[in-house]
Amino acid sequence: MIITRDSDWTKMFTRRAAILGGTQAALVATLIGRMYYLQVIQSDKYKMLSDENRISTQLLPPPRGRILDRFGQPLAYNKQQFQVLVIPEQAPKISNTLDALAQLIDLSEHDRERIKKEVQRKRSFVPVTIKETLTWDEMSRIQVNAPDLPGIIIDEGLTRFYPQGDLASHLMGYVGAVDEDDLSGDPVLQLPGFKIGKDGAEKIYELTLRGKGGTKEVEVNAVGRSIRELERHEGESGNDVVLTIDERIQRFTAERLGGESAAVVVMDVHTGDLLAMVSNPSFDANAFSRGLTTEEWKGLIGNDHNPLINKVISGTYSPGSTFKLVVTLAALEHNVISPDQTLFCAGHDPKIPAFHCHKVHGSVSMVRAISTSCDVYFFEVARRLGPDKIAAMARRLGLGAVSGIGLPSEKVGLIPTEAWKKSARKGERWTPGETLNMGIGQGYVSVTPIQLATMVSRVANGSVAVKPRLVRPAISRNITTPVTEDEHVGGLESLDIPAEHLAILRQGMFDVINGPPGATTAMQFGRLRFKDPERKDWTMSGKTGTAAVRSFTPAEREQYKRNPDTLPWRLRDNAFFVCFAPSHAPRYAIAVAVEHVEIGGGGGATAAPIARDIMEEVLRLDPSHKPRVESEQVATAEGNHT
């Protein structure tokens, strides 16, 4: 009985166990199938996802290229900078750490608030910046006290530095944080703290200077903490930009200008190289790079000498008598007067007596009219030419058009024509008086100093349409050959001005400085010659210009003559001087514009001596005939600065 029951039970047990075992085998097979699916069939997909999880690609900012002067002197480079940061997770009590740190460096309440906010917002292992641009002292104080400052680290970074301070700031521009509008698809722009050129050369050569961002792959864990660096692809650092500027001439010019509100352009008449381009007063580009304080900003904005404006390209002035170069060449071309023919100057225009000359010159020929700057002569010539012929010549000499160097906010100025007046002044007709005004570079005529430099260069180089150039072409690594006339830019158009015409004009300009007494503006006789004994035999040629900012009534004129101090600075005349040297083989041209000079201090008295001193320095240094230095030397030069 028991046996039977037991065997029945055993049979059933065997059957049931087999079913159970079979089911379990099937389920284990399912597990294996799933394992195969995940680990073999789908493995590649999951490997990719796993890498995406753990590998975080981070951008590396490329080091910005330097800006060098023509001989490799650095005008802008990246300087190592120290900043102090705190890693919250390593600082058990942030406020205690900050208290301790505040004993060592300046830490405002505002800074502390910002740090606390950032600490709360970010993950505890992400460093928070406490202070940028530490001084060496501050850094060493922190280093010494490091044991008492848990979580505090010092980090090195690169910051843009302009070793020459406020020298050439207008030209260099500055770098600043990326704005919404600047985003162009280059991912490095999205990097926090990345800076790009905001003005000047920094802006126009941004792409050259910027370089290409690198990447590094970092293994991160689930909360984003970096565990280790896996791979690093260095980007390309930005290329250096070599300017045509000669830092020494730039500096000499800036120092020579002193406190004047002025603009000076020094240009190679053949190549168009801008050897100096000074707008005075200037500002410290470094301050822009690190961010201006409110006081600094107010100081710059409130200054009536407009330090922020680059007067070389953005200052528009009536050129005064310097414009007579244009009128002379137009007169010769259109043959409205023979060079030998004399006109009589009785101190005012014979037809419109209200138009005065600054002197009674008597009978003047063309050369003498230029060297004495006789207005009456040019009134008559202008009358014979009419505004449009003068305007055409002005344009040929480079006035009324942008220079092409590409700096932001360059002004065009204005070269008026009859048609222009009609459209700009609601059909008003051109008046004869306006022609006379135009003949002496007053009235509507308005030019920039860089245009004046272009004009005088074109006169000096034998009427080749040279253009100002800010950057040296073909930045090659080992140029040791002198830069001479052969770099003389080929392919420039000729302006087709006959040599005889230029000879007459240049004779006039020569006499301005070197002419016999009475043939020049007498006041200046002899004073504009070079003083340096080595260059005693060298001469320069030039033209003065003085332009009224406002016309005064005779009564006002009398009053201001008696009490010069009562004339507000803003209403005083502007003084100009354009020149080239050496007279026998012109190479360098200079245009000087000095705003609002003292009474009696016109182009000849104020602007010309400045030009003479600069020209003497330019001739001494003679940058156009010097070889460029090799890049290794450039590197050493920079090393000395850091």
List residues binding another protein (CB under 8 A).
Answer: 5, 8-9, 12-14, 16-17, 19-21, 24, 27-28, 30-32, 34-36, 38-40, 42-43, 45-47, 49-51, 53-54, 219-223, 227
The radius of gyration of the chain's CA atoms, rounded to the nearest angstrom, is: 37
What φ, ψ does residue 220 adopt, rounded to 5°?
Answer: -120, 155
Q: In the complex with another protein, which residue's Cβ is closer, 18 or 346?
A: 18
Per the CB < 8 A criterion, the answer to whether 307 and 429 are in contact is no
Mark out the alpha helices in 354-497 (DSSP H runs): 366-372, 375-385, 387-396, 418-424, 432-439, 449-460
What does the CA dihedral 337, 339, 341, 347 come to, rounded to 10 degrees?
80
Distance of closest approach, residue 149 Cβ to another protein, in angstroms: 25
Supply angle C-alpha 424, 429, 432, rounded to 5. 120
Distance set, CA 451 to CA 311, 401, 459, 469 (Å): 12, 8, 12, 12
Distance of closest approach, residue 4 Cβ to another protein, in angstroms: 9
Distance of closest approach, residue 87 Cβ to another protein, in angstroms: 19
Distance of closest approach, residue 51 Cβ to another protein, in angstroms: 8
Q: In the complex with another protein, which residue's Cβ is closer, 36 or 344?
A: 36
> How far is residue 32's CA from residue 43's CA, in Å, rounded to a whole number?
15
> How far is residue 499's CA from residue 464's CA, in Å, rounded to a whole number?
11
3-state secondary structure of 193: coil
Distance of closest approach, residue 47 Cβ to another protein, in angstroms: 4
Distance of closest approach, residue 217 Cβ to another protein, in angstroms: 13
CA dihedral over 332, 336, 342, 345, signed as positive or negative: negative
Please state, as a whole number, how many other Cβ atoms lie within 10 Å of the Cβ of residue 300.
17
For 316, counting Cβ atoms within 10 Å of its Cβ (0-12 exposed, 13-18 middle, 19+ buried), the class is: middle
Q: In the complex with another protein, which residue's Cβ is closer, 33 or 600?
A: 33
> How far is residue 505's CA from residue 326's CA, in Å, rounded to a whole number?
10
Distance of closest approach, residue 123 Cβ to another protein, in angstroms: 13
Query: Smallest Cα–Cα separation from 393: which of 313, 467, 455, 466?
Result: 455
> How far is residue 146's CA from residue 52's CA, in Å, rounded to a whole number?
37
Distance of closest approach, residue 48 Cβ to another protein, in angstroms: 8
What does the CA dihedral 608, 356, 369, 545 come to, rounded to 10 degrees?
20
> How far is residue 173's CA from residue 201's CA, in Å, rounded to a whole number?
6
Per the CB < 8 A criterion, the answer to whether 395 and 460 are in contact is no
> How far is residue 367's CA from residue 636's CA, in Å, rounded to a whole number?
52
3-state secondary structure of 75: strand
Distance of closest approach, residue 124 Cβ to another protein, in angstroms: 15
Per the CB < 8 A criterion, the answer to whether 247 and 69 are in contact is yes
Q: What letter represents residue 500's amino acid?
A: E
Query: Smallest Cα–Cα separation from 267: which of 544, 606, 581?
Result: 581
Query: Smallest Cα–Cα separation from 564: which of 517, 609, 596, 522?
Result: 596
Distance of closest approach, residue 33 Cβ to another protein, in angstroms: 10
3-state secondary structure of 275: strand
Q: In the complex with another protein, which residue's Cβ is closer, 31 or 354?
A: 31
Q: What letter represents residue 639's amino acid?
A: G
Q: In the complex with another protein, which residue's Cβ is closer, 19 or 301?
A: 19
Per the CB < 8 A criterion, the answer to whether 169 and 114 are in contact is no
Q: In the complex with another protein, which residue's Cβ is closer, 4 or 551?
A: 4
> How far is residue 385's CA from residue 390's CA, in Å, rounded to a whole number?
7
Q: Which helix (H) or strand (E) holds 555?
A: helix 554-562
Q: In the complex with another protein, which residue's Cβ is closer, 1 or 354?
A: 1
Q: In the complex with another protein, which residue's Cβ is closer, 124 or 563?
A: 124
Query: Smallest Cα–Cα separation from 209: which of 236, 170, 177?
Result: 236
Q: In the complex with another protein, which residue's Cβ is closer, 8 or 534?
A: 8
Q: In the complex with another protein, which residue's Cβ is closer, 42 or 124?
A: 42
Query: Smallest Cα–Cα separation from 62: which of 181, 172, 180, 194?
Result: 194
Distance of closest approach, residue 42 Cβ to another protein, in angstroms: 5
Q: In the complex with another protein, which residue's Cβ is closer, 54 or 348?
A: 54
Residue 594: strand pairing partners: 262, 575
Parallel/antiparallel/unpaired status of strands 74-86 and 262-268: unpaired
DSSP state of 329: H
Distance of closest approach, residue 279 Cβ to another protein, in angstroms: 57
Q: In the complex with another protein, which residue's Cβ is closer, 24 or 341?
A: 24
> How far is residue 605's CA from residue 374's CA, in Å, rounded to a whole number?
17
Distance of closest approach, residue 229 Cβ to another protein, in angstroms: 15
Q: In the complex with another protein, which residue's Cβ is closer, 34 or 117?
A: 34
| Sequential DSSP letters for 98-115 | HHHHHTTS---HHHHHHH
Q: In the complex with another protein, which residue's Cβ is closer, 44 or 180?
A: 44
Distance of closest approach, residue 126 Cβ to another protein, in angstroms: 17
Q: In the complex with another protein, which residue's Cβ is closer, 9 or 344?
A: 9
Distance of closest approach, residue 226 Cβ to another protein, in angstroms: 11
